[in-house]
Amino acid sequence: MKRPLPTFRYEVRSARHLDELVASPLPLGMVAGDARRSQHRDLYLDTSHDTLRRRNITCRFRLRSDDTRILSVRIGSAGSPSEVRFDSAVRSAEAGGAVAEATAAGRRLSALIDPALLVVRLDIETERITRIADFDWLRRPRVEIHYDRSVIRRNGASGTMYQMCVHARRGDGATTERLATALEQTQQLRRESGDSRDRAELMLRWKQGGGVDDNDRSPEEASGVHAGPRSPGNPVEFLNPEIGLLDFQGRVLALAESADTPLRERLRFLSIVSSNIDEFFMIRIAGLRRAAREQSEEQCDDGLSRTEQLRLIAERMSNLAERQARCAEACLRELEPFGVRVVRWKSLDAAQRASLREECREEIHPGLTPMAMTLSPGHPLPHLPHLTLALAVVQRDNVTHRLHLAELELPADSPRFLPVPGSSGDYIAIEEVVRSNIDLLYPAGGIEGVYVFRVTRGGELSLDEESAEDLIDAVADATERRSSNPAVRVEVEREMPGFVRDLLLGNLRREDPGASVELDASDIHEIDGLLDLRCLSDLELPDNPTLRYPPFQPAEPLPEGQSLLDALRESDMLFHHPFDSFDGTVVRFLREASEDPEVTTIKITLYRIGNSSPVVDALIDAARNGKKVVAFVELKARFDEGHNVRWARKLEKAGGHVISGLVGYKNHAKALLVVRRENGKLRSYVHVGTGNYNSRSGMEYTDLSLFSSRDELTADVADLFNALTGGSLPPMGLSRGSLVAPHQMPDSIVALIDREAAHARAGRPARITAKLNGLSDAAVVRALLRASADGAIVELACRGICTLRPGVPGRSDRVRVSSVVGRFLEHSRIYRFENGGSPIYFVGSADLRHRNLRRRVELLVRVVETKQQEELDRILDLYINDATAWELGADGAYVQRRGGTLGAQEALMHGAVSAQSGT
Contacts of 583 (CB under 8 A, 6+ apart): 614, 695, 698
For residue 436, give the amino acid letter: S
| Among 863, 868, 874, CA closest to 904 | 874
Distance CA 616, CA 613 (A): 5
Sheet architecture: strand order including 390-396: 371-372, 403-409, 390-396, 447-457, 487-493, 524-527
| N residues, the chain | 919
Q: Evaluate the omega torsion of the peptide bond into residue 557 and state whether it is cis, within 30 degrees of 0.
A: no
Distance CA 348, CA 343 (A): 8
| Among 511, 477, 324, 321, CA closest to 407 | 511
Distance CA 10, CA 495 (A): 12
Contacts of 649 (CB under 8 A, 6+ apart): 472
| Among 578, 643, 639, 569, CA closest to 611 | 643
Tell me the C-alpha to C-alpha distance, in Å, between residue 144 and each of 40, 77, 81, 815: 17, 21, 21, 61
Catalytic residue numbers, as ranges: 668
Distance CA 826, CA 547 (A): 23
Is 148 strand, coil or helix?
strand
Distance CA 637, CA 278 (A): 17
Contacts of 853 (CB under 8 A, 6+ apart): 741, 742, 745, 746, 749, 777, 780, 846
Distance CA 58, CA 78 (A): 9
Distance CA 697, CA 701 (A): 5
Q: What is the DSSP letter of 442?
A: -
| Among 667, 692, 669, 668, CA closest to 609 | 692
Distance CA 536, CA 270 (A): 7
Is 799 strand, coil or helix?
coil
